[in-house]
Amino acid sequence: MEHYDNQGTPEAFARSVSAFETLTATLSGEPAGAWTHAELEEHLQAAGRALMRQLLQDHLDLRAIREEEHLRTRPDLRVTGPDGRPRPWREPGHERWLSTLFGHVRVRRVAHRGPQVGNVHPADVLLSLPAGRHSTGLRRLAVTEAVRGSFDQALAAVRRQCGPVVGKRRLEELVTQASTDIDAFYRAKVPLPCSRDMPLVIQADGKGVVMRPEALREATRRKAAAAVAQGRRGRLAPGEKPNRKRMATVACVFDTRPAPRRPHDVIGPIEGRSNNRTRRPRPKAENKWLTASLVKTPEQVIAEAFDQAQARDPHHLRDWIVLLDGARHQLDVIQTEAARRHAKIHLLIDFVHVSEYVWDAAHVFHKAGSTEAEAFTADRLTAILAGHAARVADELLTQADRAHLPTSRRDAVVACHRYLTGHLDQLHYDTALDKGWPIATGAIEGACRHLIADRLDITGARWGLNSAEAVLKLRAVTSNGHLDAYWTFHTTREHERLYPNPDQAEYRLTA
């Protein structure tokens, strides 16, 4: 559509000028001279928002006047809608409300009508008005606040800044709608290039989120219903789950610079480190990218992580390191996905997870918290880092046999032996340290804490599936540092959905 002449008209902003003069008169008056700076801020915040709202309203009114004047000078002008059918009739004065960062404003425009077709408002296209009442800026503010704290806190923050422009349920809906284009955004986004000597790291993990009953997976819902049918109990039995959570899968991909280390850089000697040998630094994550989902299966989330890795290294010229906590299902999914893509990966188990098993075994032979237990553990972990996991596992079992431990105490040693021998192919820490690769899953553990625990696991929260998924994905986008770029992408896609026209959202004007 043709753009109208938008030269300023002072009379159109007479109400804004009057509001500004009233504000300056108040500030220059004698009563204001006795206000504290806090009282001045409070007054300016309210009066300033009212002034901004009036400026926006005056501008919209001016555009409505110019649209009507423009059409009066062009009686032969006809509008063809997105369906290709003309709208021969004009009807001025059609109004709609818009809730903005400054409050509610009224948008008046001309409707172009035709027989048995919907109205077309070319001014809506020029303004890129949303389908609902709430402006794009207000939606962005709602998202920013909702991914940071609870919905109640987000609502309070929006109302402090904008006034009563939205309710809590509608705010939740705005956040959910704002996440609709995240998958498409990352499919279209090209990662930053990286040199081939920098390893590429993939990590994945899962964390439960407390859900409303209807949002649980079917198997969990059945278990919860069966527990209710058995009657209420005071507390759960040992090892029993409350069946209130749905598992979210989190994955991350990042680049890292090689940082070769020795076993003693990771496990210090029990007597302490000397000043003669400097401890070498661990590798640091760079260009970290996160994805997470409660709706998608672990297979789908891990496939997204491999898509990101593939985009960073399409020809598989770099070392691909995959770090997991040892869960068998995750290992199977990772290996299946790597085989499907013909990608050579170096699979490692999180060293911290391995150390927990060794600590449990140490407490069988030595008192917890004792120097002997620490020395025992440090010695075994150093050997594992040097590539001798099989030897450590056999020595632990042999030591347990010699000590003639009872079954109750022997179980921890057997569990450690089983874990080490069952994952020997994923315990090549000697190679990882020599090549400067990471050996722990700190990045994904931190991501689970940041994405889920800090927001979705707040006290008393019980989530619906749509809102939880939206908040989780938006927090991932924010953590990736892509919220600004995503919001531009999302608003462009929203415009295209609302105004689907071959001329990129401009209605054709024909004679």
| Mean of pLDDT values over 411-426 | 94
Please tell me the pTM assigned to this model: 0.88
If asked whether residues 376 and 468 sit together in one domain, one would say no
Does residue 473 share a domain with residue 409? no
| Rounded Cα gap, residues 172 and 190, in angstroms | 30
pLDDT per position as a tens digit, 278-296? 788 999 999 999 999 999 9
> Domain ends where: 375, 394, 424?
424
Range with the poorest average pLDDT among 9-13, 412-416, 419-423: 9-13
159 falls within a domain: no
pLDDT average, residue stretch 368-383? 93
Report the distance separating Cα 232 and Cα 262, nearest Å: 54
Average pLDDT over residues 424-443: 95
Residue type, 312: R
Same domain, 458 and 416: no
490/227: higher pLDDT:
490
Whether 363 and 496 map to the same domain: the answer is: no
Task: List, in sequence order, every beta strand (DSSP E) within 139-244.
Answer: 200-210
**Long-range pairs for 502-507 at CB < 8 Å and ≥24 separation?**
505/125, 505/128, 506/1, 506/125, 507/1, 507/79, 507/80, 507/81, 507/82, 507/120, 507/122, 507/125
Same domain, 248 and 218: yes
45 and 124 together in one domain = yes
Q: Is residue 317 part of a domain?
A: yes
Place of tokens 């503010």: 141
pLDDT in tens, 114-135: 998 999 999 999 999 999 999 9
- Asked if 347 contacts 334 with a C-beta cutoff of 8 angstroms, the reply is yes
pLDDT > 50? residue 411: yes
Residues 312 and 286 in one domain: yes
Report in angstroms the alpha-carbon separations of 30 from 21, 23, 33, 35: 16, 13, 5, 10
Q: What backbone phi and psi angles, to 5 degrees, belong to 273?
A: -85, 145
The strands making up 345-349's β-sheet, listed across from edge to edge, are: 285-293, 245-256, 200-210, 320-324, 345-349
Same domain, 386 and 316: no
What percent of the chain clears pLDDT 70, i.e. is strictly above it? 92
Asked if 361 and 458 sit in the same domain, the reply is no
pLDDT band of residue 507 (cuts 50, 70, 90) is very low
- Return the pLDDT at 326: 82
- pLDDT tier for residue 272 given thresholds of 50, 70 and 90: low
Q: Is residue 136 part of a domain?
A: no
Higher pLDDT, 221 or 348: 348
- The sign one gets for the Cα dihedral 148, 150, 153, 159 is positive
Average pLDDT, the chain: 90
330 and 358 share a domain? no
* Lowest pLDDT segment from 114-128, 234-248, 432-446: 234-248
Q: Are 62 and 124 found together in one domain?
A: yes
pLDDT at residue 408, rounded to an integer: 82
In a domain, 1, yes or no: no
Cα distance between residue 482 and residue 188, in whole Å? 13
Total domains in the fold of the chain: 3
pLDDT of residue 192: 83
Q: Which residue has the tokens 């999302």?
A: 490
Q: Which of 424, 448, 473 is the last residue of a domain?
A: 424
Q: What's the gap between Cα 76 and its chain centre?
A: 51
Q: Which residues span the domain enclosing 365?
A: 351-424
Residue appearing with tokens 């030591």: 399
Out of 136-150, 274-288, 339-353, 413-427, least confident range: 274-288
Structure token pair of residue 366? 């030595």
Mean pLDDT of 19-42: 95
| Per-residue pLDDT tens over the stretch 164-223 | 999 999 999 999 999 999 999 999 998 888 889 999 999 999 999 999 999 988 888 888
Pick from 114, 49, 76, 164: which is nearest to 510 by CA?
Answer: 76
Instruction: Give the pLDDT score at 238.
Output: 58
Asked if the model's pLDDT at residue 506 lies above 60, the reply is no
Query: Which two structure tokens, joined as six digits, stand for 468?
Result: 């939880």
Cα four-point dihedral sign 22, 23, 27, 32? positive
**Which among 217-221, 260-264, 267-271 has the top mean pLDDT?**
260-264
CA distances from 76 to 1, 109, 169, 345 (A): 15, 19, 46, 68
Query: How do residues 311-332 score in pLDDT, each as one tens digit?
Result: 999 999 999 999 998 888 999 9
Q: Tell me, yes or no, whether 163 lies in a domain.
A: no
